[in-house]
């Protein structure tokens, strides 16, 4: 199985919530196994619903069935986000399985309209956004204006009293 390359830190592969319940089987190096359900998937990893979390760094063989066929790959479990949800990343996946996975993601994104286009647009706007104006200089200008108005008012009031 070819290893997955780590791409640019600014690129996030598309994620998809699979349309139907997607059972998954996790096989451990000692021969044991566990069942779960794929909640979110991408070509780099995903999120599983498990009966109980696995240790961070656990290596498993992950298998699940998509609309485009079976997908198998070696995965590493990441820190659980709750008692039942745990993310994982693919360590390696065969080319054929990766093609089926990409097709399932595209199919799912097309069916339910969920995509990460808005995230990419938001990130692009953050990168190309003009830096915010300094609030401190506006506060000084406002204070100076107030002081000048107060001084002018005091001078006029003093002239009127004479």
Res 85 pLDDT > 60:
yes
Q: How confident is the model at residue 158 (pLDDT cuts 50, 70, 90)?
A: low
Q: In sequence order, which residues have a C-beta less than 8 Å from that of residue 67 and are 6 or more positions away?
A: 19, 104, 107, 108
Instruction: End-to-end CA distance of the chain: give it in Å, rounded.
Output: 96
User: Which letter, b or e, does each residue of 101-114 get, where b requires 16 or more Cβ atoms within 10 Å of its Cβ?
Assistant: beebbebbbeeeee
Res 101 pLDDT > 80:
yes
Q: Which residue has the higher pLDDT, 103 or 135?
A: 103
For 48, 95, 138, the CA distances from 142, given in Å and listed in that order, are: 55, 63, 6
pLDDT-above-90 percentage for the chain: 46
> How far is it, in rounded angstroms, from Cα 28 to Cα 148?
76
């Amino acid at each position: 199985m070819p290893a997955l390359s780590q791409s640019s830190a600014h690129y996030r592969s598309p994620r998809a919530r699979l349309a139907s319940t997607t059972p998954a089987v996790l096989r451990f190096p000692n021969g044991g196994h566990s069942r779960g359900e794929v909640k979110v998937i991408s070509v780099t990893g995903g999120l599983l619903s498990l009966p109980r979390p696995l240790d961070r760094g656990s290596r498993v063989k992950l298998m699940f069935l998509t609309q485009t066929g079976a997908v198998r790959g070696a995965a590493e479990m990441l820190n659980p986000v709750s008692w039942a949800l745990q993310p994982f990343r693919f360590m390696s996946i065969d080319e054929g399985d990766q093609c089926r996975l990409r097709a399932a993601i595209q199919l799912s994104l097309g069916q339910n309209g969920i995509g990460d286009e808005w995230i990419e647009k938001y990130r692009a706007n953050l990168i190309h956004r003009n830096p915010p104006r300094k609030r401190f200089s506006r506060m000084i200008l406002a204070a100076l204006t107030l002081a000048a108005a107060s001084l002018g008012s005091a001078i006029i009031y003093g002239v009127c009293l004479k």
